[in-house]
Homo-oligomer: A and B are copies of this chain.
Amino acid sequence: MNLIILEGSDHAGAGRYVLTDSRADHIRVVLKAEPGDSVAVGLLNGPIARGRIETVSVEAVSLVCEGLTPMHDAFPIDLILAMPRPKALKRVLVTIASMAVRSVHLVNAARVEKSYFDSPVLEPEIMRSHLIEGLSQGKHTQLPNVTVHKLFRPFVEDTMPQLATTEGGPGRRLLCHPGAKHRATDLALDPLQPVRLAIGPEGGWVPFEVELLEAAGFESFELGPWVLRVEAAVAVALGQISMLVRGAGPG
């Protein structure tokens, strides 16, 4: 836990938060914090702060938030991801939250097994716990918005244009596709334009899907001369695009 994420349900009034779960254990056992010490906390979908410890016991830790600092806005990137197998989905959710992705659309595709849509990992509370783990890891507070779309074509043709009106325009539309002519370095990314990034299933998109996405303005590029598992592909794609958008120096 690089950042302890506080939620509304932890709030006990007047800037005081009471934790009774693994976060309390982390503060007590790993951080060995005592009353008067401060730990790094973040309010879910809100600012980061210092949490001044008031009381520590095996049952609970209480702390008061001080020095609230607005979380800097992340570069807006939305992921369109062919539904991964459930075990991979858990890890992908952690990665996308820690890499500050704004939203994820989990979509069907020809090479997605239909049973993946019945996985318990898709229960909102379970997805949320993996996302919060990722925020805690990546030191972010903004919970990514995750939606599931069981029909690919209506998502591309109907839902995406609707999203464009609510999410800052159509954005730069990119499609990871092994064998594409371009690399990310060729894309001349614009730091002012949100990115919509489509990543296919382990077996790749089928030609019909690539055609539909290209007709919707998606430009194909290749991550490198490898075929990657979805967890690695998501991390590599976000890492390349983020570096190219932000350019030199941290920010």
Contact = CB atoms under 8 A, between A and B. Distances in A.
Contact of A235 (B182, B235, B243, B247): B235
Contacts of A242: 224-225
A247 B228 CA distance: 19
Interface stretch (A6-14, A43-51, A57-65, A91-99): A91-99
Contact of A239 (B179, B227, B240, B247): B240
Contacts of A186: 248-249
B98 A247 contact: no
B98 A183 contact: no
Interface string A219-248: 000111111110110011111101110111
A194 to B, nearest CB: 17
Contacts of A222: 250
A99 B239 CA distance: 15
Q: Which of A183, A231, A232 has the most CB of B within 10 A?
A: A232
Contacts of A185: 243-244, 247-248
Task: For the complex of A and B, list the 8 residue pairs with the smallest distance between their C-beta atoms, beginning with the closest.
Answer: A236-B239, A235-B235, A232-B235, A138-B226, A224-B242, A186-B248, A2-B227, A239-B239
